[in-house]
Amino acid sequence: MHKLLVALTLLSASLSTAAFAQQGQGRGTDAEQKACTRDVQKFCRPVIDQGDFTVLACLKENRAKISQACDQVLKNHNQ
């Protein structure tokens, strides 16, 4: 469970774009994190401890299978 929370924190940090960061928000919102939690658990569990960019890459690799909500979060952050 702890690894999942760490991964979601890292994921949310990696999803922030330059414009998003300039708005004073360095992390994804709670709703954005929630949108991708199940997808990270389901598809990216083996790479959770390998860093934020690895988890992001995993979500992108599984894009056809992730939820629409998580896909929209990635799109919102130009991923």
What is the arithmetic mean of pLDDT over 41-45?
97
Cα–Cα distance, 26 to 38 (Å, whole number): 22
Q: How far apart are the first and last CA of the chain?
A: 26
pLDDT digits (tens, 9 = 90+) for 7-42: 565 555 554 333 333 333 445 799 999 999 999 999
Cα–Cα distance, 43 to 26 (Å, whole number): 25
Q: Can you give the pTM of this predicted structure?
A: 0.66
Cα–Cα distance, 39 to 70 (Å, whole number): 7
Nearest-CA neighbor of 44 among 70, 20, 22, 76? 70
Contact yes or no for 52/5 (Cβ under 8 A): no
